[in-house]
Amino acid sequence: MALIGSTIKPFTAQAYKEGKFVEVTDADVKGKWAVFFFYPADFTFVCPTELEDLADIYPTLQGMGVEVYSVSTDTHFSHKAWHDTSPAIGKINYYMLGDQNHTISNNFDVLRAGQGLADRGTFVVDPDGVIQIMEVTSEGVGRNATELLRKIKAAQYIAAHPGEVCPAKWEEGAETLAPSLDLVGKI
């Protein structure tokens, strides 16, 4: 599962977004920052809490030039039904990709063997289609959109400032590090 630094693989999927069914491909992702947010299934328990949390920061992400693609192995029809019946999911304005053929889940190596469900995986992809951040958690561990936002800000910062790195707990505006021989053993 060494996907950091690799380029996303080709895919085509149907998605539900803002009352419409739309086609999304890997070509649509290139040229902007993107988050692929995999979850096991619609109409479940932890998933709506995560997706609602992500919906709450979606306007901020859009302002940073980041698009969000939630992905499960359900169909786009199921996504619409869930969106129409759940107050939490009804808040979502980002793409909800159906991956019933498992192409995207296999491409990101999060498909559970023999189950047909995706693990909880988060991938941040840069404008060149290269995976910069990945996180996979177990079934019962929900993710935190605020922490994801912090990581995206750090990834965008280091992309714009070659030669600098963001230390642990880095927040926007805080000091960064410039790795050098002089710093070895002093931090």
Q: Check residue 140 and give its pLDDT.
A: 86
Who's near 105: CB < 8 A, 6+ residues apart? 38, 71, 73, 99, 111, 118
Burial class (CB in 10 A: 0-12, 13-18, 19+), 41: middle
Sheet holding 33-38, edge to edge: 20-25, 12-17, 95-98, 66-72, 33-38, 120-125, 131-137
Whether 166 is catalytic is no
Q: What's the pLDDT band for 187 if we cut at 50, 70, 90?
A: low
Place of tokens 């404008």: 127
Give the per-residue pLDDT at 139.
85
Report pLDDT digits (tens) over 99-155: 999 999 999 999 998 999 999 999 999 999 999 999 999 888 999 999 999 999 999
Marked catalytic residue, from 13, 29, 47, 124: 47
Encoded amino acid at 60, one letter = T
How much is the average pLDDT of 152-170? 95
Strand boundaries in 18-111, DSSP class E: 20-25, 33-38, 66-72, 95-98
Query: Which residues, 6+ apart, have CB-to-CB distance to 5 below 8 Å?
Result: 130, 131
Average pLDDT over residues 168-183: 84
Read off the pLDDT of residues 31-87 as tens digits, 9 standing for 90 and up: 999 999 999 999 999 999 999 999 999 999 999 999 999 999 999 999 999 999 999
Whether residue 185 is predicted with pLDDT greater than 90 in this model: the reply is no
Mean pLDDT of 148-175: 95
| Beta pairing partners, 71 | 38, 97
Residue 183: predicted pLDDT: 63
pLDDT at 1 over 60: no
pLDDT for the residue 2? 82
How far apart CA 146 and CA 45 sit, in angstroms, is 20
DSSP type of residue 175: -
Would you place residue 173 in the very low, low, confident or very high pLDDT band (cuts 50, 70, 90)?
very high
29: how many CB neighbours lie within 10 A of its CB?
18
Q: How crowded is the C-beta side of 144, counted as CA atoms within 13 Å?
A: 4
- Candidates 99, 91, 52, 94; CA nearest to 71 is 99
pLDDT at 27: 97
Neighbours of 67 (CB within 10 A): 19
